[in-house]
Amino acid sequence: MQNSNNTADIISTVEFNHTGELLATGDKGGRVVIFQREQESKNQIHRRGEYNVYSTFQSHEPEFDYLKSLEIEEKINKIRWLPQQNAAYFLLSTNDKTVKLWKVSERDKRPEGYNLKDEEGRLRDPATITTLRVPVLRPMDLMVEATPRRVFANAHTYHINSISVNSDYETYMSADDLRINLWNFEITNQSFNIVDIKPANMEELTEVITAAEFHPHHCNTFVYSSSKGTIRLCDMRASALCDRHTKFFEEPEDPSNRSFFSEIISSISDVKFSHSGRYIMTRDYLTVKVWDLNMENRPIETYQVHDYLRSKLCSLYENDCIFDKFECVWNGSDSVIMTGSYNNFFRMFDRNTKRDVTLEASRENSKPRAILKPRKVCVGGKRRKDEISVDSLDFSKKILHTAWHPSENIIAVAATNNLYIFQDKVN
């Protein structure tokens, strides 16, 4: 039933909201699909709340840049939820150029009993009106509406790769390859530029911004990562333009691992603050690293995601897989980190026990209630029974986007155009 050749269905971002009740996905076709967790009912005590489709809307449309004669993709690069402040839900969604604030609200009552028009909305002949009545609100089938409340456009010359809501809930930032802008939610025709790494001479450009995020508690602090494997922490109180960083995180290169592709595989594809705000996690092509904000010269933990690819870098460079941007996520308690890999594998690392597991998101292995079996990639010559050899990996099946529920052990994994939701085993 599912048409796998339709590239518009490829999921490009996944995000839980702050309570975990809602799960939003964006796809290449510019659509946003929101799932809502069903309330647990007493009679089905063994079933934890399932996620069902709550709302679907077209967030972005493809555009055409007439000046450059290039299309602007409608693909949703990122979705970020705002904390809930009233009955409606708000989220930010962005494509390469434009950020939009969407309001998702429910309507379950409608007014009935108008005087001047009948139930279908047709105007009534005033001559036929003999009495006046007060319209009343009557319950109706629940309808979920999504309306764009703000459109933040024309502020980015380059492609937006990140958005991040500030902890003051009044501002947010959007980052493209060379600049980061600070917005106020209420103001759409102005934004402050807080980081600009564009060189005067474009030929001198050797580094781009790859991801950016605000600190979860300190509204003046944010970090951004670069294609050279560095992370900069900036304080907006220091100056209006945060071109000079407050902290600079970089690990010295390991000379034994040096190759032609050292720079490319060091490019950081995602950076995430821990929920505590004490650590940041970065994902480069082969590893996930956890950094302590207080130590800039090296990460405190490094986890190998798929080191067996190190010998395949040339072919991965040729088919562009080396440029894949994997994301990484923390669990609610910052004790486990998760990231994706190829062949629909994703990996989880327990920071306390130092144990890691490789799981697969595939239809065959994912019947409901089935327990995910750990997978293993074999590197050497002898392949054990359940192992997969490196050469059999399917590099077109990559898991770039994953999300972890903020408080429970529920994870959402996007595998091309399928979304898998896994939960911790119920005893």
Partner 1 sequence: MTFQVAYNILLLQAILPHRFFSCVSMGIKTRVSLDSRLSPSYPEFFERIKPQSPKGSFVGYMLGKGGKRKFDEHEDGLEGKIMSPCDGPSKVSYTLQRQTIFNISLMKLYNHRPLTEPSLQKTVLINNMLRRIQEELKQEGSLRPVFTPSSQPTTEPSDSYREAPPAFSHLASPSAHPCDLGSTTPLEACLTPASLLEDDDDTFCTPQAMQPAAPTKLSPPALPPEKDSFSSALDEIEELCPTSTSAEAAAAATDSAKGTSTEASAQKLEGPQESRADDSKLMDSLPGNFEIMTSTGFLTDLTLDDILFADIDTSMYDFDPCTSTSGTASKMAPVSADDLLKTLAPYSSQPVAPSQPFKMDLTELDHIMEVLVGS
Whichever of 68 and 384 has its CB closer to partner 1, that residue is 68
What one-letter code names the amino acid at 415? A
Site size toward partner 1 (CB under 8 A) is 115
Q: Does 122 bind partner 1 (CB under 8 A)?
A: no
What string of DSSP letters covers 196-228? E---SSGGG----EEEEEE-SS-TTEEEEEETT
Site residues for partner 1, 277-336, by CB under 8 A, read: 310-312, 314-315, 317-321, 323, 336
Whichever of 72 and 219 has its CB closer to partner 1, that residue is 72
If you count them, how many residues does the chain have? 427
Whichever of 125 and 204 has its CB closer to partner 1, that residue is 204
Among residues 166, 210, 274, 344, the one that binds partner 1 under rule CB under 8 A: 210
Q: Does 371 bind partner 1 (CB under 8 A)?
A: yes
Give the chain's radius of gyration (CA, Å): 24
Q: How far is CA 218 from the centre of its chain?
A: 21
Q: Whole-number minimum distance, CB 277 to partner 1, in Å?
A: 24
Tell whether the torsion through CA atoms of 349, 350, 353 and 356 is positive or negative: negative
Among residues 122, 204, 294, 364, the one that binds partner 1 under rule CB under 8 A: 204
Contact between 286 and 304 (Cβ < 8 Å): yes
How many C-beta neighbours within 10 Å does residue 154 have?
A: 11
State how far the Cα of 128 lies from the Cα of 116, in Å rounded to an integer: 10
State how far the Cα of 102 lies from the Cα of 206, in Å rounded to an integer: 36
Among residues 44, 157, 276, 304, the one that binds partner 1 under rule CB under 8 A: 157
Q: Whole-number minimum distance, CB 133 to partner 1, in Å?
A: 28
Whichever of 11 and 194 has its CB closer to partner 1, that residue is 11
Site residues for partner 1, 161-180, by CB under 8 A, read: 177-178
Whichever of 236 and 415 has its CB closer to partner 1, that residue is 415
State how far the Cα of 35 lies from the Cα of 25, in Å rounded to an integer: 8
Among residues 136, 137, 142, 295, the one that binds partner 1 under rule CB under 8 A: 142
Q: Does 41 bind partner 1 (CB under 8 A)?
A: no
Here the tokens at position 157 are: 């010359």
Q: Whole-number minimum distance, CB 129 to partner 1, in Å?
A: 31
Q: Does 57 bind partner 1 (CB under 8 A)?
A: yes
What one-letter code names the amino acid at 99? V
Site residues for partner 1, 86-115, by CB under 8 A, read: 96
What string of DSSP letters covers 257-281? G--TTHHHHHS--EEEE-TTSSEEE
Contact window for partner 1 (CB under 8 A) among 78-86, 127-135, 156-164, 166-174: 156-164
Q: Does 410 bind partner 1 (CB under 8 A)?
A: yes
Here the tokens at position 140 are: 């109706």
Q: Does 356 bind partner 1 (CB under 8 A)?
A: no
